[in-house]
Amino acid sequence: MTAPSLQRWAVRIEYDGRPFVGWQRQITGLSVQQVLEEAASRLASGRVVPSITAGRTDAGVHATGQAAHLDFPGDVRLNDSTVRDALNFHMKPYPVAVLRACPVDTEWSARFSAIRRSYRYRILNRRSRPTLDDGRVWLVKRTLDEAAMARAARLLLGRHDFTSFRASACQARSPLRTLDRLGVVRQGEEIVIEAEARSFLHHQVRNMVGTLKLVGEGLWAPDRVAAALAACDRRAAGPTAPPDGLYLTGVGYDPDPF
């Protein structure tokens, strides 16, 4: 019997996005993908171990629940805890960690099998700049009205053409998306926005947050968000919120391999 040609492993990943050019490999600097694949290559005697991710996060965006899969050569001996611990060992000192690793069928794809993506956006709403959370929140000094933001957020729920909230560089074929959740709550000095959908357009969460911030500041009435959505024109919505406050918190699968 010959060994299978490849072994696919699903990994749940956490990272601090600050030092990276983003998930995807780029010639301009270090990516999370490069750190992960080079560590995986160390387990495969230096052979290439390609990865596919559920969400190609931008530079400076963080993850607490990213998912990806790795295709190891078939002859490498692997088990759940050695994959997790060995990848973590080889990814030092970079702020990337594998939380869980499990073997999956090669039919399974971290990207195409995903049925839900969850993001959190943290706004620090106070006068003083962040210290412990520098680079990990968006500082907004003017007091935000979180109830108005929550009302506006509800107008974006459901299936819509989200062209107004889509980056010009977005490569998705359709601007139609179904937004299942967009919650806004205050937690002390922070405004926390939770977004959930099967998938998002490029910059969609950050563009929605940048628009909700205008509502929170009182510059926009909540209803204007519905008008911006209906315009199907990027110029009708607010600016893009910075990457600092954005976290990919989870990717859902059915069944969940983790």
The answer to the question of residue 134 lying near its own copies (CB under 8 A) is: yes
The answer to the question of residue 192 lying near its own copies (CB under 8 A) is: no
- Kind of pairing between the strands at 96-104 and 190-197: unpaired
Q: Pick one of 2, 28, 45, 131: the residue that binds its own copies (CB under 8 A).
A: 131
Q: Report the nearest approach of its own copies to the CB of residue 80 (Å).
A: 11
- Pick between residue 133 and residue 161 the one whose CB is nearest to its own copies: 133
List the structure tokens of 174: 């359709």
The answer to the question of residue 85 lying near its own copies (CB under 8 A) is: yes
Q: How far apart (Å, rounded) are the C-alpha atoms in residues 208 and 153?
A: 8
Q: Pick one of 24, 26, 41, 88: the residue that binds its own copies (CB under 8 A).
A: 88
Burial of residue 233, with CB atoms counted within 10 A of its CB: 0-12 exposed, 13-18 middle, 19 or more buried: exposed
Q: Which stretch binds its own copies (CB under 8 A): 79-87, 114-122, 144-152, 218-226?
A: 79-87
The answer to the question of residue 80 lying near its own copies (CB under 8 A) is: no
Q: Which stretch binds its own copies (CB under 8 A): 11-19, 40-48, 144-152, 178-186?
A: 11-19
Which residue from 98, 95, 75, 133 is spatially nearest to 15, judged by alpha carbons?
A: 95
Residue showing tokens 């001996």? 77
- Pick between residue 123 and residue 237 the one whose CB is nearest to its own copies: 123
- Pick between residue 99 and residue 172 the one whose CB is nearest to its own copies: 99
- Pick between residue 68 and residue 215 the one whose CB is nearest to its own copies: 68
User: Measured at the alpha carbon of residue 90, what is the angle toward residues 89 and 93, in degrees to the nearest 5?
Assistant: 80
Q: Report the nearest approach of its own copies to the CB of residue 139 (Å).
A: 10
SS3 17: coil
Q: By CB under 8 A, how many residues form the interface with its own copies?
A: 24
The annotation status of 94 as a binding-site residue, yes or no, is no
Phi first, then psi: give them for residue 20, nearest 5 degrees.
-110, 155
List the structure tokens of 151: 């009302």
List the structure tokens of 130: 């962040």
Residues designated as active site:
58
Q: How far apart (Å, rounded) are the C-alpha atoms in residues 142 and 67?
A: 36
Question: Which residues of the chain form contacts with its own copies (CB under 8 A)?
Answer: 14-16, 62, 64, 81, 84-85, 88, 92, 95-99, 126-132, 134, 136
